Amino acid sequence: MAYDHIERGIIKFLQADIPLAPRPYRYLSEELGCSEEEIISRIIKMKNRGLIKRLGAVLRHQKAGFTVNAMVAWKVDENTKDQAGQIMADFNEVSHCYLREVPEDFGYNLFSMIHARSEEELSELIDNIARQTGLKDYIIIRSVKEYKKTSMKYF
């Protein structure tokens, strides 16, 4: 798919750190030689065409005080996978929740990344998720060190 220079500029802008300003698109419009209204209109059109999935903030969880983090892998069956995944995804402390195809001998196929402020809070969250989903078989994979925290760059 071909993008014109304005669309390419918008994509580059949106995948980077957007300025904390009352009118952040003003800077981009000046750089691209068009109006803020055109930038906003193009973003809406790109979203409607499925080129942009969503706009969102990335929380630096360590800096925000969420220093205890773990990936929890759950064994879930075909009949309850969607319901369990939705329950997990509804927790504010869960940043990622996804179903994976895994080797049969591993079996843990639903993964949730949970962020907490203490070991006690993490343990309580996992217990609460297990209670609400009815899932009892899971493993906790602890985060030890973060090596990279960047978003994809397409241009």
Three-class SS of residue 139?
Answer: strand
Report the number of distinct structural domains present in the chain.
Answer: 2
Taking 90 as the threshold, does the pLDDT of residue 143 lie above it? no
Question: Is residue 33 located within the same domain as residue 74?
Answer: no
Phi first, then psi, for residue 108 (nearest 5°) are -80, 110
Give 40's contacts (C-beta < 8 A, 6+ positions apart). Answer: 25
Question: Is residue 89 located within the same domain as residue 127?
Answer: yes
Establish if 73 belongs to a structural domain: yes
Domain region containing 113: 68-142
> How far apart, in whole angstroms, are the C-alpha atoms of residue 85 and residue 127?
15
- Name the pLDDT band for 153 (thresholds 50, 70, 90): confident
- pLDDT tens for 90-103 read 999 999 999 999 99
Taking 80 as the threshold, does the pLDDT of residue 62 lie above it? no
Taking 70 as the threshold, does the pLDDT of residue 1 lie above it? no
Please give the model's pTM, rounded to 2 decimal places: 0.67
